[in-house]
Amino acid sequence: MPVTVRLLAASEWRLWRDVSLQSLAESPDAFRPTLAESKDQPEEFWRGAVAPTVEHERCNLWIAVNGDDPVGKLFARIDEELTTVYMGALWVAPDLRGAGIGTRLMQAAEEWGKDSGVTRSELWVTEANQAAVHFYEYLDYLPTYDTQVLREGSKLVVRRLQKTL
């Protein structure tokens, strides 16, 4: 079945919850939130994470679906000055990697940013995550000198990347 990349609707908070928990379990070093702090969150948490985001004019969530199964996701937010689109939470199911889904998700958000008048895209990547580092290189993201730890107590370093759109 072909994989579809599309915007998430507010009513689809369960899809976002399911794909988010999969991503945190599968790629714990790629994201600041942890599975431990996310897995027992009640329905209100996920409704509260999804609806205000997709209903906000400067935020969006994209989902990749294979039939009814969520197989990828991306969050993006545009700053108040309409200069930069910030990407986050990108994940593609392991068995579907290498098929261009990550690229399609990123391109959807970059196009939305450009259509909104934005000229720059930014994101943070864990330096040790070589697959993602190569992926962002492929998409023409450039490293900045900005680094920080992934989360409090972590030894993992994340670096800010940017791209002119």
Ligand X SMILES: CC(C)(COP(=O)(O)OP(=O)(O)OC[C@H]1O[C@@H](n2cnc3c(N)ncnc32)[C@H](O)[C@@H]1OP(=O)(O)O)[C@@H](O)C(=O)NCCC(=O)NCCS
41 touches ligand X (CB under 6 A): no
Cβ of residue 26: shortest distance to ligand X, in angstroms?
Answer: 7
In the complex with ligand X, the residue whose CB is nearer, 99 or 157, is 99
Closest residue to bound ligand X by CB: 102
Cβ of residue 149: shortest distance to ligand X, in angstroms?
Answer: 15
Cβ of residue 42: shortest distance to ligand X, in angstroms?
Answer: 26
Find the binding residues for ligand X in span 58-87 (CB under 6 A). Answer: none
Tokens at residue 152, please? 């409090």
The whole-angstrom distance between residue 80's C-alpha and the CA centroid of its chain comes to: 19
In the complex with ligand X, the residue whose CB is nearer, 76 or 92, is 92
Find the binding residues for ligand X in span 82-141 (CB under 6 A). Answer: 90-92, 97-103, 125, 129, 131-132, 134-135, 138
Find the binding residues for ligand X in span 15-34 (CB under 6 A). Answer: 27, 30
In the complex with ligand X, the residue whose CB is nearer, 51 or 139, is 139
In the complex with ligand X, the residue whose CB is nearer, 10 or 21, is 21
According to the 3-state scheme, what is the secondary structure of the chain? CCEEEEECCHHHHHHHHHHHHHHHHHCCCCCCCCHHHHCCCCHHHHHHHHHHHHHCCCEEEEEEEECCEEEEEEEEEECCCCCEEEEEEEEECHHHCCCCHHHHHHHHHHHHHHHCCCCEEEEEEECCCHHHHHHHHHCCCEEEEEEEECCCCCCCEEEEEEEEC
In the complex with ligand X, the residue whose CB is nearer, 10 or 139, is 139
The residues of the shown chain that bind ligand X, judged by CB under 6 A, are 27, 30, 90-92, 97-103, 125, 129, 131-132, 134-135, 138
